[in-house]
Structure 1
Amino acid sequence: MEKYKKIIISSLVVGLSSLLYIDFYVKNFKFSFAGVMFPLLLFMYDEFNPIIFGILSGFSLVLFRVVFYGVLQGAIAETFLYSMPENIFYIIYGILFFNFKRKFQPITHNKMFIIAALSDTFSNVIEIYIRIGRYLFTKDYEIIKVLFFVGLLRAGLVWLLIMGYKYYRLFLIKEEHDKRYKNLLRLTSQLKTEVYWMEKNMAYIEKVMSNAYELFSNIREDKNKECWSDMALEIAKDVHEIKKEYGLVVMGIEEIMADRLDNTGMYFSELMAILKETLKRDIKKQEKDIVIRYEIGRNFYTEKHYYLMSILRNIVMNAIDSIENKGNILVSHTVENNNHQFTITDDGCGISDEDLPHIFSPGYSTKIDYNTGQINRGLGLTLIEKLLQVHLKGSIQVESKVGKGSTFIISIPVKELEGINE
């Protein structure tokens, strides 16, 4: 229950920061630093429900006020009553923020300044009205003017802290990218050694193919019978050597992947940023006019990003290949019934009813280059299905119509991607 733990801890931070305050001339009314922390945390943790966070933060504020002032001063009941209107402040703030968030997505730092200023001012007006009633609107609206000024001031502080937070995150991301790039260089250099051995084995394979064809010709023409057994034995020996060499290559690659590969996790938003950039390059390389739209649900952290990236990229690349020159692709993500659901829809050539049952079969492919005679090896969807079943306990469904396009629906349990139960 990591998400709920995070929202509770954050609400306690708001409550604790309410102990830093400045008194206002309305009795028991205080301008506290909690009014800055509350919107800042809502910006940092987009997955928080603002209304629930507002209720928890208001409760936390009352709790800290009662403990630190009521108990110490021997006025628990009085402190509780005087703090309750401020509890209302955070509930109203949460409701306002919830509505702003629905209408003005995405929330940028500049939008946040306006939202914080308006929400802070209106919530303070409600709180003061609860405390002093209609007297709020006397004296040339002096109190409201002060509340608006304070709202702007605290919104300005929120804006500055958000900018600082963004620059700090950029610094951390750059540092992490540098680390991964160095790791990738080491990984590539070691893989090149293994590729050398694979290329060396190509000579063995050519030799086996040549000997096998010669044996086939001799058997078909019924000649050199005395050499058949020797040739068959030589082919078997060469195949055995190739098997040993490739066994060593596989072992070497597995060791590299285990020792060097960065297995730390990443956020889904970071993964999608990388995917968008690579797909943009692939589309440009193929000289196609394809627009990819992304509808991304809530952000989450996963340590299985390699599998997820392989699955999404492979399917989107298939969608790109299915579009001849110009078209559209939609990549969407939602969380439903404790499952992450990824849907990739294209308006490409589609898959026929005859081909549809076989697309996950090894070696099956409908992608043939009639100019070169080359055929796609047809392992992409087979590997995707295996990755989903074995490593992510997920599933994949396909809907397609010739001339209309295809839709791939991938479902992966939340606990498999995030390592938690929701």
Structure 2
Amino acid sequence: MIPHVILLVSITGLIFTYPFDDYFRFTLGVVVLATLLLYFQRLPALRIAVLSGALTLLLRTTLKYPFVDESLLSAFMHNLPAFGYYLGYGLLFRLLKVRNYTGNIPALILLLSLCDIASNCVELIIRREVVGRTLETIFTEIVAVGVGRSLLTVIGYYSLKRYRDFVLAEDHAARYAELIFIIAKLKAELFYLKKSSNDIELVMEKGYTLYQSLNAAYPGELAKADSPAARALAIARDIHEVKKDYYRVTRGIEEILDIAVCEEGLPLSEFFQIVEQNTRRYINGLDKPVTITFDYRGELVTDQYYAIVSILNNLITNAVEAIQAAGVIAVTGQWNSGRLVLVVADNGPGIPPAETELIFAPGYSTKFSEVTGQMSTGLGLSHVKHLTESLGGQIIVTSKPGKTIFTVSLPLTNLRKME
């Protein structure tokens, strides 16, 4: 990075003006040098200043020499005092510890001005070429330029800092959006994991009941390892071990979610934007010309946004998958009359009337992967229905060829609206 900074300072050092009609000049490179030294705290100030001065001296000498009637040594000596300026600036910048005052703008401007003014005075003393000007005039111009360049430096530094904060905020928002979707998906998986745990519990009870029945019907048979009663008991024990493993997994996921989930509410517009950003990334990764629009109104703030995000995500994903070619999806969200109404509409082929009720059954699906030939799990809409009902709401689907609309209505009282 250091070579790039030195090169940038040296190139901008070629942008200058002659205030006294001689070799002494005011350049823009000083502003760039000071701005970068403030912004990049780890840059060695003295070394950067010295190397920038050396390269500036080289560039000025080699670029001007072919166009003036003087020797290369003479051109070098005329530009050598500029190196003295950069050396003085680097020394003062380091000795005055200018970087310690970035939080105090008046002090920062003062110290930068002192560095600039003193370094210009050093260069003038080395040159001894200023004639036809009074000391008062010269000093006034040096002070004015020093303060002016210091102001530009401070503006440049805080502009870079503001831009960095903006980029970091954008990155934080993107990571936060990803976290919300990850947690929403984990919650969905946890629901089915718990359902499987309950199923395992029932199977274990049936296995143990079978063992008891066999043991009662055939007393003494348990002592035989291959007897039906012994095998039924062994199966019940194995299922019990699986049940304990499931419990450990579900408990571990719950603990992770307890740490990750924020109890504070989010406004409707904010998590709608998260859904929109994630959906557009998902669609851009598909070879499908799908147009999607989002419209959200109201100032609802809720802590149930993970459930709402999961509902929207599943409905939108289903709509995207249902569209066979180019299609349009419209997503709306608004609250009125004490309810939050979410609508996902698409112009896909529609759902046959006979399947309208079946689509919410766990495992029901008409979708399959063209790559693997495997059917979809069919859990998406089942999960949407479960989440909707757990929030005291209802989901309605209306469909015909070229138009399918899923409407989710949730009572605001169960969304814990926060003021």
The alignment's TM-score, normalised by the length of structure 2, stands at 0.48
Larger Rg: 2
The alignment's TM-score, normalised by the length of structure 1, stands at 0.48
